[in-house]
A = this chain, B = another copy of it.
Amino acid sequence: MISVNLSRIFGNQIRKLREERKISQQNLAEMCNFEKTNMARIEAGRTNPTLLTMYKISLALKIPLSELVDFEIKIDDDIERLS
């Protein structure tokens, strides 16, 4: 079993940062050199992205990777769902 909510929280973080910059999924995907469908999957939390994918997004958003993953994870959200 995978942690659906962790991916979802991460996806929400990407979406928030992307919308703040007023760019489309498609634009962000292009900046990252991957498919817009992949970006949709990531934002929807339907995939468990790799370090490289996260790093590409941080470059596109012009923030450090540490900021990209700087979000709160509540116990109820996630802990018990780890495989």
Contacts and interface: CB of A to CB of B under 8 A. Distances in A.
Interface residues of A, number: 25
Contact of A2 (B52, B70, B83): B52
A82 B50 contact: no
Given A66-B67, A66-B69, A69-B65, A83 B33 contact: yes
Interface in A28-83: 33, 48-52, 54-56, 59, 64-67, 69-70, 73, 79, 82-83
Contacts of A69: 51, 65-66, 69
A44 to B, nearest CB: 14
A43 to B, nearest CB: 13
A55 B49 CA distance: 12
